[in-house]
Amino acid sequence: MPRKPVKKTNRVIGVVIIAMVLVGAFTGFRFLMKQESTPETQKKPDKVQIPSNTEPIIDYNKIEEDKELKTLMQQRKAEYGVNKGVDIIAKSNESIKIGDSTVSMQEILEKIRLKSGDIVEKDIKSQDATTKEKIESFGIHVVRPGENIWNIHFTFLKDYFDYKGVQLSPLSDEPLEKGSSSGIGKILKFSEHTVNIYNIREHKLDVDLNLIFPLTKVVVYNMDQIFAFLDLIDYKHVNRIQFDGETLWMPSN
């Protein structure tokens, strides 16, 4: 008889312990299930990484007052023998700023390539399209009031020939006596197909060469490409150049 209370007490304790174990196990199981069912985005909020723009910026507004920038532009222009034809020579891994608008040269180049049907490849990790490409130089002419595309090209072309020791007459782009286009005139017409106009405010290429608004558009020259073309021209026989609206060539005879 004295052992019965002991058995009952032990039984009660055992039941309590088992219940506690079950409750703990059930609680742990529910916790694990909740963790597994929690969406991945709620486990650890990922920080949004915003890549900083580390590209050097060529600020057109500061060229005259910034001695270092002015010297840099003069040095780059001297390499190509240009002066008034372009305002800026920018590298393909730089940005330009005109007025309040800043645009990366890569943005301009990608849109030019897409326009010409080329495929643009980017290094997604670095967000830098120039890592596997040659760094190129581009002449930038900022459009001013009263300018037109013909005069812009003529100034650029005159710069080139001055560098070569050839003095272009201000009338060298005028038609010849019989009314046909001069050689310089044909080069200028062809030049309209070799350059691009970019609207820096609207961030798009401009398809209408006649609508140019001051300080909103720039004329973009690929310096290496256009000089490779100009170096083929023999000025002594410039008026023998032929142009059919698309192709420019020098007759062999």
pLDDT at 194: 80
pLDDT at 41: 45
Does residue 129 share a domain with residue 158? yes
Q: Within a domain: residue 113?
A: yes
Does residue 103 share a domain with residue 32? no
| Better pLDDT: 57 or 244 | 57
Residue 239 has pLDDT above 60, yes or no: yes
Q: Within a domain: residue 50?
A: no
Average pLDDT over residues 225-229: 86
Domain range holding 121? Answer: 57-249
Does residue 85 share a domain with residue 18? no
**Residues with Cβ within 8 Å of residue 141, at least 6 apart in sequence:** 85, 86, 87, 152, 156, 218, 219, 221
pLDDT at 211: 63
The torsion angle over the Cα atoms of residues 164, 166, 171 and 175, rounded to 10 degrees, is -80
pLDDT tens by residue, 51-97: 345 789 999 999 999 999 999 999 999 999 898 889 999 999 999 99
pLDDT at 94: 96
Does residue 224 share a domain with residue 104? yes
Residue 147: burial class (beta carbons within 10 Å; 0-12, 13-18, 19+): middle
Average pLDDT over residues 20-24: 49
Does residue 165 share a domain with residue 98? yes
Residue 218 has pLDDT above 80, yes or no: yes
The percent of residues above 90 in pLDDT, for the chain, comes to 29
Amino acid at 110: E
Average pLDDT over residues 32-60: 55
pLDDT tens by residue, 144-191: 888 888 889 999 999 988 888 888 888 888 888 777 888 888 888 888
Does residue 110 share a domain with residue 27? no
pLDDT band at 1 (very low <50, low <70, confident <90, very high): very low
Q: Within a domain: residue 48?
A: no
Does residue 144 share a domain with residue 170? yes
Does residue 39 share a domain with residue 137? no
Its sign, for the CA torsion 66, 69, 73, 75, is: positive
